[in-house]
Amino acid sequence: MEVAIEISWKNALKDLFQKPYFNQIAAHLKAEKALRKTIFPKGTYIFNAFEQTHFDQVKVIILGQDPYHNPNQAMGLSFSVPDGVKPPPSLVNIFKELNKDIGMPIPSTGNLTNWAKQGVLLLNAVLTVRANEPASHAKIGWMDFTDDVIHLLSEEKKGLVFILWGNFAQQKIKLINPLKHKILKAAHPSPFSAYNGFFGCKHFSATNEYLVQQNINPIDWAL
């Protein structure tokens, strides 16, 4: 099927868009819209992670699970919220770890687009959700698609950093070649688990150390 997505990704993923799961996703979203269900993020932001970080620019992948399901939060980038929206608790903890790890001041915005434009693919495993119903689109085919995206990145590139926070993200390790890429694992930044290994993980400095070793420009984590 025809998908409105940034051209470098469109070329890289063209075979995926012909798979049965993609028709299933499109049909499900169309049916819910016909029932006047509210879906987040809005249509133009569903593929925002790909729009902001082109295929040939990817250096780092930070994997999230599900888009935010409350109004005005989801913007198609994992963990990110638009300017003017209060950062959710997990993002607050990410900023606390950044402060402890590299001394970065706590940002006044939760908008992570600046990371995305530097090569940080902020990819959720599921790209849509019904309003106020977390994980409501977890089984409509998105995870098959994003699993294929992760595997393709692992196969087609080398020297990437995969940041996997929490058990859900770490299940994706099987899709990644550890001989070609750096895999960083820690607890999820959620308040329920951050003190069980997220705080102190130093993933931001570790990411940049690895990129520099690969002769790749490091990420400026400031927002």
Catalytic residue list: 66
CA angle, residues 47, 126, 144, in degrees to nearest 5: 100
**C-beta neighbour count of 191 within 10 angstroms:** 12
Residue 166 belongs to what H/E stretch? helix 166-170
Phi-psi region of 22 (alpha: psi -120 to 50; beta: other; left: phi over 0): alpha
- Residue 127 CB contacts under 8 Å (≥ 6 apart), including other chains: 46, 47, 67, 76, 137, 142, 145, 146
Written as six digits, the tokens of 1 are 């099927």
Distance CA 207, CA 215 (A): 13
